[in-house]
Amino acid sequence: MTSWVSILIGYALGCLQPGWLLARLLKGTDLRRVGSGSTGARNAGRVLGPVGFAVVLLADAGKAALALWVADRLHASSEIRALVLPAVVTGHIWPIPLRFRGGRGLATALGGWLYMDPRLLLAPAVVVLLLYATTRRFSQSFSLAVLAVPFGALALSSTIETIAGTGLVALLVVFAHRSYWMTVSQVSQGAVASQPGG
């Protein structure tokens, strides 16, 4: 029963939004009303600058590592532990205190995967380079490259629970970034339409 608490703790930690909090305290700005509307590091950097971006990035990644560490201390089963990171990412994307308007979960997912096994990031690193070479859009490339993580977990002979958990997190991150790809699609269609005969 105690191990189930780690899932609730994970979601609660995910709901903590350091980007929103710092922007509110230091600049009096609600990140949900600025730029992309995300409370994550990239949008926070628009308000807080490079240092703020770095602080929020580390904090968003750190809360995932903290949640997994707590699960370890509670001796959570492999099945429960596999659900902790998805719970953190879900809390980050849909935080109850901010009326379910948070960040997009990328830094949080990366922090959790780094804690689990840094080798999990090798596959997405290769994929992001290939996608960026094609699209020249870093955030969008990274948001899709996370889909390679469960395949990396499979290659590392991870447990089925770990593979499923990383896959769920990857899908959450891609879903949270869907607006980026909708924007890219609209821009591309507009460019085609503006061409002669388009």
Could you tell me if 129 and 113 are in contact, meaning their C-beta atoms sit under 8 angstroms apart? no
The mean per-residue pLDDT over the stretch 90-97 comes to 97
Residue 175 resides in a domain: yes
Residue 198 resides in a domain: no
Distance CA 17, CA 19 (A): 6
Share the mean pLDDT of the chain.
88
pLDDT at 119: 95
Residue 147 resides in a domain: yes
Most distant CA atoms of the chain, gap in Å: 66
Q: What is the pTM of this model?
A: 0.87
pLDDT at 128: 85
Q: CB neighbours of 119 closer than 8 A, spacing ≥ 6?
A: 152, 156
**Reported confidence tier of residue 144, pLDDT bands at 50, 70, 90:** confident
**Reported confidence tier of residue 47, pLDDT bands at 50, 70, 90:** very high
Domain that residue 87 falls in: 2-193
Which DSSP category does 17 fall into? Answer: -
Domain count, the chain: 1
